[in-house]
Amino acid sequence: MRLTHILFVLPLAVVALAVASPQAAKAQDYDMDCKLLLCLPGGFPDGCGDAYDHMIDRIRDGKSPIGTCAMAGGGEYDDYEIDYDFNGATSRDGWQCPEGTRLFHESNPVEANRSSVQVFCYENSDTVRLGDNTRTYYTGMSRPDRTHFTLDMTMNASAETPYETGVMRFSTGRARDWMTDITYGQ
C-alpha cells in the first residue's frame, strides 16, 4: 500500500520541482546580485564568498560584474556607478606588488599580435653609470600577483555623501595572455 502511494506522489514531486526550479534559480541570481552589492564595497568579508564566486562567474561569462538587484517595490536598485576593466599582462594594471615594494613592468612588441613582458616587484634600485652606459640593479625582488580585473565602484551615487570603494583588483582566472611571453625577474 505504501509503495503505491510513493509511486503516485514521486512523479508529482518531480514535476513540481522541475517547474519551480527555473523561478528559484532566477530569484537566487537576483538575491545573489543584491548580496554582491552589499559585499563588494567591504572587500568581500567573511560570509561573502558565494557573492564573490557569483561575481567571478559573471566576469568569466563576459557579463557585467553585477546583474539585477530587485527591490521590494518591484524596482531595480541602480544607485551605483561601476567602472571595470580586464587587464592584460602588457598593462601595468594587470599586476600588483605587496605593500612597500614597487613594480617594474616593461612590455615590448615581439611580432604581430605577440608581446614580451618583463615584470617583478622590488624594494630598492640603484643605477650605476659606467662611461656612456648605465645599469640598474634591483634588490628585494619578488614575483607580483597577476590581477586580471580592476573595478572601481561608487555606492549611493546620488547621495550627498556617496561611498567609493577605490580601485579593487581581482584575479579571475580569465587571462588573455596566451600571445604574451612573461618573464619574472631580471
**pLDDT score at 177:** 66
Largest Cα–Cα separation, the chain = 100
Residue 135: per-residue pLDDT: 92
- For the entire predicted model, the pTM comes to 0.64
pLDDT of residue 75: 84
Mode of pairing for the β-strands spanning 180-184 and 114-122: parallel
The grid coordinates of residue 13 equal 514531486
E strand or H helix that includes residue 7: helix 2-39
Task: Note down pLDDT in tens along the chain; length 186 residues.
Answer: 444 444 343 343 333 334 433 443 444 555 888 898 888 888 888 999 999 999 888 888 878 888 888 888 888 888 888 888 888 888 899 999 999 999 999 998 877 778 889 999 999 999 999 899 999 999 999 999 988 888 898 988 888 998 898 888 888 766 666 667 777 776
- 164, 166, 172, 175 alpha-carbon torsion, rounded to 10°: 130
Q: What is the pLDDT of residue 22?
A: 41
- The DSSP 8-state label assigned to residue 186 in this structure reads -
d(CA 128, CA 91) in angstroms, rounded, equals 28
Q: Burial, 51: exposed, middle or buried (Cβ in 10 Å; 0-12, 13-18, 19+)?
A: buried
- At position 102, the amino acid (one-letter code) is R
Q: What letters, b where the CB count within 10 A reaches 16 and e where it falls short, cover 101-131?
A: beebbebeeeeeeebbbebbbbeeeeeeeee
pLDDT recorded at residue 89:
87
The three-class DSSP label of residue 151 is: strand
